[in-house]
Structure formats: C-alpha cells, structure tokens
C-alpha cells in the first residue's frame, strides 16, 4: 500500500481514546475515585488532538485545492456543531441569578457569550472568558488559528527536503525546551503567559511535519506500544511519584517538563501508528466500533462536559470513592447518545453541504 493511498483508520480510533481521556479528566469534578490524580492527566487528550489535527491536514493536503475552499471546509467541519453545542451549554453554565454553591454556573453576560459564536474566546486568559459559553470550546479558538496558518506552513514544508523537515521538527522541540528551561532557571522572571492559540501552535506544527514525512513514506518503524507504554509510566509516576520515595525536587522538575515529555511521546505515538497503517500492519486501534467512536469523538468532546454538569447539578459533587465508578458508564452513555445525534444531524450534513459548495469553488478556478 502506498503512503498516499493508505487509510489511516487507526488514528481515527486513537482520536476516541484521546476524547475518552478528556472525559475522565472532567469526571473528577463530579465523581472522583481514589486514583483521581492519574485522571488529571486526561487533559493531555487536547494536546493529542492538536498534534493529530496538524498531521491529518498535512496528510490530506491537496495542492490544487484553493485556500478559500480549504478554509470553507474547515469552517464546515467545526462551526455548525460548535454552535449547537454552545446552545446546549448555555442553560447549564449560565444563570441570571447563579447559586454561589454552583461554582460552575456563571452570571449571564451576553457580551462574553457572543465571543463564543465566532470562537474567539480562547484569545483571553481570564477564565471567565476563556471557558465561557461551552467550556470545552476554547480549543476551537486554537484550531481556527491553526487552520488560518496551515496553508502557509504547508507550503514551507513541501518546499524542503525530508531531512530538512526532520531538522525543523527537532529545532521546534529543542526551542520549546530552551524557552522552558530559561523560565525554570529564572524562576519565571520575564516569562509572560501567551494566549493559548499561540502557546499551543508548536503542537500543531509538529503534527504537520510528521504528516509531511508520512506522506513521503519517510517515517521510521517503531512499535506504537513503546511510546504508549512510556506515556502510561510517565503519568503514573507524575501522579504517585511522591509515594515511591522519589526525591521531591526531581518530581517537581518532572512536573515542570511534563508537557514537553508528553508532546514527544504523543508525536511518536501518532507517527508510529500512522506508519503501521501505511504498511498495512495491525495496530489494535482500527476495529469498526473504535473507528466509529473516533468519528463521533469531536461531537462527544463538545457535549461531554455539558452532559456531566447536568448530573452535577442534580446529584452534587460526590466525595472520593470507588463507588463513583458506577457513574462513569452512565454519564458516558448519556454523552454518547447526544454526540451521535449531533454527529448525524448537524456535523455530517453541514460538512457535506459546505464541502459541495467548496468543490464548486475549486472547479471554478
């Protein structure tokens, strides 16, 4: 199977596990279990989405597709579902007279909510704006920013050799480490927090580079279970290292560079899984049910927090207990029901219609 024609179903399957990890991360706010510190690292599912987004767009890039048509397709893929999810979220997260005991409910503010319609709320660092509307949708601000720059970065990547692409990837990662190390050494002096779309851009660009190498058939063979196992070990260590008699200073250093270690391992995971799909090898991530869940993972990501906080509103925040595990499948199924409906009735139809319109733009040029 040639690299250009391979169907990378395993990455679709992996997309579900990333969404599932984010679900576990948020469930700790409702029904924590004794190992909830481990679930805190489920938020790295968002990093996986950003890397994978860059990979997929570079993998599927068509040089003859007008940039305008590309932007329209990305808009059709994201915005309709995001808008419907916003409408579902507002009654759960906003009130004209919020109960102080319900910390997740914010005072109704039309001005702030309107920022969520064009998905620009993620440019603010203030939590009341960053997590406004649908709290999960700040990531879409990042995605829209990434999409705006993708044609520019893609043209830069395709003009250089595979070796130069690899050098660029290493340089980006080393640059991140240098900046982070400088902030660590200075105790944070002079290190100004950046808007999240800018801060998370390297994750997307690294994914793009891996996608370019994959399309050229230049990925190294590596068992995906190696970086996946390393991620598991890393998260267990970061969660429970203090109970293993590991020096506290070393644990704190590891926590400080957790993002960078996770970025490297997730990039290797995506690259290795893609390589196995291209080679026609088994991965364990492309069963029909897993691929289907991966297809609805975007819709699930958009609604899972809204669904969960309905349960929080009814039952309150529960104390830490293993008994809380019974709530996980209940909330999961409820979220999936709404996600499948959103995927079938909004995401797919609107994406299809806008894609057809973008095809007419392509033909006209």
DSSP 161-209: -HHHHHHHHHHHHHHHHHHHHHHHHTTTTT-PPPPHHHHTHHHHHHHHH
Share of the chain above pLDDT 90, in %: 89
d(CA 290, CA 187): 44
Tokens matching residue 56: 């997929």
* Residues ≥6 apart with Cβ < 8 Å to 48: 14, 15, 18, 21, 266, 269, 270
According to the model, what pLDDT value does residue 365 have? Answer: 61
Kindly report the number of other CB atoms within 10 A of residue 118's CB atom.
11
Burial class (CB in 10 A: 0-12, 13-18, 19+), 315: exposed
> In 104-137, which ranges are continuous DSSP H helix?
110-114, 127-130
According to the model, what pLDDT value does residue 193 have? Answer: 92
Q: Which residue has the tokens 């609107």?
A: 350
CB 46 within 8 A of CB 139: yes
3-state helix, strand, coil in the chain (%, to 5): 75, 0, 25
CB 122 within 8 A of CB 196: yes
According to the model, what pLDDT value does residue 364 have? Answer: 63
According to the model, what pLDDT value does residue 130 have? Answer: 98
Taking alpha carbons only, the member of 160, 177, 180, 172 closest to residue 205 is 172
Domain residue spans in the chain? 3-364
Burial class (CB in 10 A: 0-12, 13-18, 19+), 156: middle
* Residues ≥6 apart with Cβ < 8 Å to 54: 146, 150, 203, 204, 205, 206, 207, 208, 209, 210, 211
| Residue segments in the chain with a per-residue pLDDT below the cut of 70 | 1-5, 361-365
Kindly report the number of other CB atoms within 10 A of residue 314's CB atom.
7
* Residues ≥6 apart with Cβ < 8 Å to 65: 362
d(CA 276, CA 7): 11
The pTM of this model reads: 0.96
According to the model, what pLDDT value does residue 2 have? Answer: 53
According to the model, what pLDDT value does residue 220 have? Answer: 87
């Amino acid at each position: 199977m040639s690299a250009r024609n391979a169907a990378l179903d395993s990455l679709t399957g992996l997309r579900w596990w990333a969404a599932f990890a984010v679900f576990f991360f948020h469930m700790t706010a409702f029904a924590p279990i004794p190992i909830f510190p481990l679930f805190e690292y489920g938020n790295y599912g968002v990093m996986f989405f950003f890397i994978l987004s860059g990979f997929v767009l570079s993998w599927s890039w068509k040089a003859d597709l007008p940039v305008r048509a590309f932007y329209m397709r990305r808009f059709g893929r994201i915005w309709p579902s995001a808008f419907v999810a916003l409408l579902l979220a507002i009654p759960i997260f906003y009130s004209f007279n919020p109960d102080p005991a319900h910390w997740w409910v914010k005072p109704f503010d039309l001005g702030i909510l309107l920022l969520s319609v064009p998905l620009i709320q993620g440019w603010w660092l203030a939590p009341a704006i960053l997590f406004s509307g649908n709290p999960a949708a700040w990531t879409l601000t990042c995605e829209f920013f990434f999409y705006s720059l993708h044609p520019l970065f893609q043209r830069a990547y395709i003009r250089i050799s595979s070796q130069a692409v690899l050098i660029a990837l290493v340089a980006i990662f080393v640059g991140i480490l240098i900046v982070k190390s400088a902030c660590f050494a200075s105790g944070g002096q002079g290190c100004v927090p950046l808007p999240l779309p800018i801060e998370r851009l390297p994750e997307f660009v690294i994914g793009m580079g891996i996608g370019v190498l994959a399309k050229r058939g230049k990925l190294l063979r590596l068992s995906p279970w190696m970086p996946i196992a390393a991620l598991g070990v890393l998260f267990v260590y970061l969660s429970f290292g203090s109970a293993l008699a590991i020096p506290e200073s070393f644990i704190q250093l590891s926590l400080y560079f957790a993002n960078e270690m996770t970025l490297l391992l997730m990039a290797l995971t995506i690259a290795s899984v893609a390589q196995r799909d291209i080679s026609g090898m088994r991965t364990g991530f492309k069963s029909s049910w897993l691929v289907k869940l991966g297809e609805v993972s975007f819709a699930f990501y958009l609604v899972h927090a809204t669904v969960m906080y309905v349960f929080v509103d009814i039952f309150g925040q529960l104390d830490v207990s293993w008994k809380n595990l019974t709530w996980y499948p209940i909330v999961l199924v409820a979220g999936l029901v709404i996600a499948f409906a959103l995927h079938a009735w909004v995401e797919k139809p609107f994406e299809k219609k806008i894609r057809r319109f973008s095809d007419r733009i392509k033909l006209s040029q």
